[in-house]
Chains A and B, each alone.
Chain A
Amino acid sequence: MSHVDDGTLHAYLDGELTPVESERLDAHLAACLACRARLEEERALIERASTLLSRAVPPTPERAAPPLHQLRRPRVAWRLRMPLAWAATVLMAVGLGWFLRGPTAVLRSASDSRNAPLSTETSAEAPPEALALDSRLAPMPTQPAEQRRSNEAEASRMYRADDAATVSSPGAAADRPPAVPAAREEADARRQVAKAADQLAQGSAGAGLRDVAPAPVAGNAIVVTAAPRDAARDTPARQRLSSVWPVIEHQPARDLLGAPPAAIPGVPIRAMRRNPDASEVLVEQDIGNGVLVQLFERRMEAAGEVLQLGGRIANERLARFVGGLRIEIAGPLTADSLSRLLGRVTPTAP
């Protein structure tokens, strides 16, 4: 056998020869002094090169590697979350806009939404995106300051929750720095009211509700419903109009429904109203600080028509039958809270 080349020696020392090649080389080395000497030289070279490379490492110890699952998933999730956050922000901003508007605005936009019917409860005369963007990027003189802050409160809450402060326009934030604390307070106040409402829903009637600080709702505001409505008869525009439905007394309401109107016990009734074609009664109850919960009530027979028309009872989570009446609930609370409040609804005393 002829002498071996450097490559084979390195492969041998690297343990990368096949067993057959290894055996053959071993046999040669046993007989060849020169190659044994070279083998030792190459071994020293490999060691030396390896030592040099070991010095080419970062000067500071490596930072702990983050868990593998944290590497991508947040980013992937973020791609989904971003549009969702935007959608939610826009919905909330527009919804709050409605929430704080007076009846005049309601009437105007109701006619607008006839021209361009929208399927959500939060339609507005401006496209939702435009309204939300306007309210955050530029001061709108026609918009009440509170409303702007509310929008910001919701927007900033979304961003804080998602760690995406960088996404919000820095310019807008710089323009109105004091708005942020105010917005936070307001958001906190809203959460408090919601919490109190939950307590109420769970049975501790009225507890602490009056103590809850700043009322988020203006005097004659209307309420954005969280409930899906019958498409056939309760268009969003129609429901918003409910705040200008004529106020009626208990007895006419009872006559209209053929049964005592139902309500959440222990919660003051602010008003009872009826719809223009006198088929539905609206009971508005003030759960504290002007936060209104609406109960839309109609005879079960009449409700049956609607069900046949709409055929969507399965989707009507926030509706139930009480004392021969079909009751739907709406209010600026979580669906969960509304659902619990709905569970407490009982016929009022005659």
Chain B
Amino acid sequence: MPEDLAAVYRSTYSALVRFLYRKVWDAERAEDLAQEAFARALVHQPENARGWLFVVAANMARDEARRQARERRHLTLLKSEPEPVTPAPDEALHDEQDRARVRRALDDLTPRDREALLLWDAGMSYEEIAAQTGLARTAVGTTLSRARRRLVEAYEKGSEAEHVARG
């Protein structure tokens, strides 16, 4: 019997939005995609709704990233001027920079390491991560330990580089 999708919706929606945000880096888009994933789940009524949702969400995020890349290429052809920078309060600016730094660090990971880390952070078990990424159950711990180490290293390297650049 399929899980109660309403319960999964309550427990997993926010995690799914966060998971998607770290892939598309657009809050509204992430929410839209999460809702779309649940909408599809309503139609398909999958046995393991939570796992199914993350698989679907990951696929949608991948398609979204491809689309964004296409649009970016298109846009850079159209406009050469830099976007106007909107003035932000210091705190917001700091958050924004920090987010960008984490984003770059995440981008440094291999796709499989990143996927495992994001799934874990979204509340998936090793079992579920294994099922979703194709990793052996016993390899998940190793993958996660590597992903975490690389994330922290890449982040700190990025911060140092910024400090150096600023002088």
Contact with B along A316-329 (1 / 0, CB 8 A): 00000000000000
- Distance from A72 Cβ to chain B, minimum over Cβ atoms (Å): 4
The CA-CA distance from A214 to B142 in the complex, in Å, is: 80
The CA-CA distance from A51 to B82 in the complex, in Å, is: 32
Contact status of A53 and B126, CB under 8 A, knowing A10-B141, A62-B17, A65-B9: no
Of B35, B96, B148, B152, most A-chain CB atoms within 10 Å: B148
B69 contacts the other chain (CB 8 A):
no
* Cross-chain contact B99 with A56 (CB below 8 angstroms): yes
With a CB–CB cut-off of 8 A, which chain B residues contact A65? 9, 13-14, 31, 35
The CA-CA distance from A118 to B96 in the complex, in Å, is: 67
Contact status of A62 and B31, CB under 8 A, knowing A11-B140, A11-B141, A14-B144: yes
A3 contacts the other chain (CB 8 A):
no
The CA-CA distance from A50 to B125 in the complex, in Å, is: 16
Contact status of A49 and B148, CB under 8 A, knowing A7-B139, A14-B120, A71-B42: yes
B21 contacts the other chain (CB 8 A):
yes
* Cross-chain contact B102 with A55 (CB below 8 angstroms): yes
Contact status of A52 and B149, CB under 8 A, knowing A6-B142, A11-B140, A68-B9: no
B50 contacts the other chain (CB 8 A):
no
Q: Tell me what chain B mostly uses at the interface: helix, strand, loop, or mixed.
A: helix
With a CB–CB cut-off of 8 A, which chain A residues contact B28? 63
The CA-CA distance from A6 to B43 in the complex, in Å, is: 42
* Cross-chain contact B106 with A46 (CB below 8 angstroms): no
A9 contacts the other chain (CB 8 A):
yes
Contact status of A45 and B152, CB under 8 A, knowing A50-B121, A55-B102: yes
With a CB–CB cut-off of 8 A, which chain A residues contact B5? 68
With a CB–CB cut-off of 8 A, which chain B residues contact A60? 27
Contact with B along A59-100 (1 / 0, CB 8 A): 110110110100111011000000000000000000000000
With a CB–CB cut-off of 8 A, which chain B residues contact A10? 141-142, 144-145, 148
The CA-CA distance from A6 to B139 in the complex, in Å, is: 11
A210 contacts the other chain (CB 8 A):
no
* Cross-chain contact B117 with A59 (CB below 8 angstroms): no
The CA-CA distance from A52 to B117 in the complex, in Å, is: 12
With a CB–CB cut-off of 8 A, which chain A residues contact B141? 6-11, 14, 16
The CA-CA distance from A49 to B142 in the complex, in Å, is: 15
With a CB–CB cut-off of 8 A, which chain A residues contact B39? 71-72, 75
Chain A residue nearest to B127 (CB atoms) is A16
- Distance from A274 Cβ to chain B, minimum over Cβ atoms (Å): 58
A20 contacts the other chain (CB 8 A):
no
* Cross-chain contact B140 with A16 (CB below 8 angstroms): yes
A112 contacts the other chain (CB 8 A):
no
Q: Which of A52, A59, A68 contacts B96 (CB 8 A)?
A: A59
The CA-CA distance from A62 to B19 in the complex, in Å, is: 13
* Cross-chain contact B27 with A45 (CB below 8 angstroms): no
Q: How many chain A residues touch B (Cβ–Cβ < 8 Å)?
A: 33
With a CB–CB cut-off of 8 A, which chain B residues contact A42? 145
Chain B residue nearest to A74 (CB atoms) is B39
Contact status of A6 and B145, CB under 8 A, knowing A52-B151, A63-B31: yes
Of B5, B28, B142, most A-chain CB atoms within 10 Å: B142
Q: Which of A14, A49, A58, A76 contacts B151 (CB 8 A)?
A: A49
* Cross-chain contact A58 with B21 (CB below 8 angstroms): yes
The CA-CA distance from A6 to B126 in the complex, in Å, is: 15
With a CB–CB cut-off of 8 A, which chain A residues contact B96? 59
Of A5, A53, A62, most B-chain CB atoms within 10 Å: A53
| A1-40, CB < 8 A from B | 5-11, 14, 16
With a CB–CB cut-off of 8 A, which chain A residues contact B142? 5-7, 10
With a CB–CB cut-off of 8 A, which chain B residues contact A63? 28, 31
* Cross-chain contact A9 with B145 (CB below 8 angstroms): yes
Contact status of A11 and B126, CB under 8 A, knowing A66-B35, A72-B39: yes
- Distance from B146 Cβ to chain A, minimum over Cβ atoms (Å): 8
- Distance from A215 Cβ to chain B, minimum over Cβ atoms (Å): 48
B30 contacts the other chain (CB 8 A):
yes
Contact status of A53 and B102, CB under 8 A, knowing A7-B145, A71-B35: yes
- Distance from B53 Cβ to chain A, minimum over Cβ atoms (Å): 12
A residues in contact (CB < 8 Å) with B: 5-11, 14, 16, 42, 45-46, 48-50, 52-53, 55-60, 62-63, 65-66, 68, 71-73, 75-76
B residues in contact (CB < 8 Å) with A: 5-6, 9, 13-14, 17-18, 21-22, 27-28, 30-31, 35, 38-40, 42-43, 92, 95-96, 98-99, 102-103, 105-106, 117-118, 120-121, 125-126, 138-149, 151-152, 155
Closest 4 CB pairs of A and B: A7-B142, A58-B27, A11-B141, A7-B141
